[in-house]
Amino acid sequence: MKNTAATANMGRDNLAKLREFASKNAIVLVLLGLIVMIGIVRSSFLNPENLVNILRISSVRAVIALGVGGILITRGTDLSAGRTVGLAAVIAASLAQRPDYASKLFKDLPLLPLALPVLAALGVGLLVGLLNGSIVAFLKVPPFIATLGMMVIIYGAVSLYVDRPPMGAQPLGGLREDFTNIGTGDTFTIPNLILIAGFVTVFIYVVLNKTTFGKNIYAIGGNPEAAVVSGVSVWKNTVLVYAIGGTLYGLAGALLSARTGGATNNYGQMYELDAIAACVIGGVSTSGGIGTVGGMITGVLIFEVLNNGLVVLGVSAYWQQIVKGIIIVAAVAIDIQKYVRKR
């Protein structure tokens, strides 16, 4: 009898541990499950080249999601993220065109140092982030409205930037090879985009988990009033988190133009919604104060695996949008229910 009872207790303990493991790693298990299921139906999906391609495409979106994720943790949002990516892509592309390219935007612009187009993209992203953060922190405009207005402003500005009357906004091409190599080349057989995204991921992980600033934004998202009482400067940290987000969007824009070899005024469209959705899928709470870097990256990978898998399976692009929308609504509903239960 004692042996039977001990065995039963051991079984319950193991089951409890299994449930705890599944709960803590649910998002990773979902990702692995998707990969396995799609791979069973279409073995070509598991081709190493296809998997590397998924990681390469995910890299730019991961950089954007890491910028949006920090803002979401503070109970904010950034609807201008996608358009900022597009603005940065156009700025970088216009400064990285070959001197001999016939349709060059700036006809007399000489060959610039390679770092300059990238730094310009980072700079314009930082500027947009500072503007967003200042509007939210000082003017007390709700983040949704502030960044919605900025999204519209940026689209108008980037369209004017590439406007060539009477032809209208024109795409930019003819980018120099050393610039496009950033987005298409490899370093020690590893795609540059994956290496850059990996570096940014580690950097943001350290910022969120090992710095006072990281602790502050979690505190602001968890309870702004308590954060103020604890001596946290809400306005300063709010401006900084938007500035970091904007800088990451700028980097993503430069990487996107390098990967595609050009840019248009429509680059980055809807990227902010994909980034927000990926963060929510990855466990970043819409109520603020909760979220991990690992979750953000996993959320991005889930969406990219899903997109690639549905293409491999021959699913219509329209159905792909429907599936993505259902997943987003379900993830937010589950998140809100968890918040309601805690109350």
- pLDDT tens for 190-225 read 999 999 999 999 999 999 999 999 999 999 998 888
Q: What is the mean pLDDT of residues 320-326?
A: 81
- Would the pLDDT of 16 be above 80? no
Structure tokens, 162: 């590439």
Residue owning tokens 């980037």: 158
Does the structural domain 41-342 have CATH classification 1.10.3470? yes
Percent of the chain with pLDDT over 90: 56
Please classify residue 94 by burial: count the beta carbons closer than 10 Å to its beta carbon, then call 0-12 exposed, 13-18 middle and 19+ buried.
buried
Question: Residue 185: what are its φ and ψ, rounded to 5°?
Answer: -90, 175
H-run or E-run covering 244: helix 234-260
Domain edges within the chain: 41-342
Q: What is the mean pLDDT of residues 310-322?
A: 83
- What per-residue confidence (pLDDT) applies to 164? 83
Q: Say how far apart CA 280 and CA 283 lie, in whole Å.
A: 5
Torsion-angle region of 163 (φ positive above 0: left; ψ -120 to 50: alpha; else: beta): beta
pLDDT digits 0-9 by tens, 269-285: 989 988 998 998 888 98
* Residues counted in the chain: 343
- Would the pLDDT of 6 be above 70? no
- What per-residue confidence (pLDDT) applies to 170? 84
Q: What is the mean pLDDT of residues 88-108?
A: 92
Quote the mean pLDDT of the chain. Answer: 88
- What per-residue confidence (pLDDT) applies to 252? 97
Q: Say how far apart CA 78 and CA 151 lie, in whole Å.
A: 9
pLDDT digits 0-9 by tens, 41-85: 888 888 888 889 999 999 999 999 999 999 999 999 999 999 999
- Confidence grade of residue 21 (pLDDT, cut at 50, 70, 90): low
- Summary count for the chain: helices (H), strands (E): 14, 2
Amino acid at 213: F
Structure tokens, 68: 């949006």
Please classify residue 57 by burial: count the beta carbons closer than 10 Å to its beta carbon, then call 0-12 exposed, 13-18 middle and 19+ buried.
middle
- Confidence grade of residue 3 (pLDDT, cut at 50, 70, 90): low
- What per-residue confidence (pLDDT) applies to 122? 98
- Tell me, rounded to whole angstroms, the distance of Cα 44 from its chain centroid: 27
- What per-residue confidence (pLDDT) applies to 196? 97
Q: What is the mean pLDDT of residues 307-330?
A: 82
Contact 286, 72 (CB under 8 A): yes
Q: What is the mean pLDDT of residues 310-315?
A: 83
- Would the pLDDT of 327 be above 80? no
- What per-residue confidence (pLDDT) applies to 47? 87
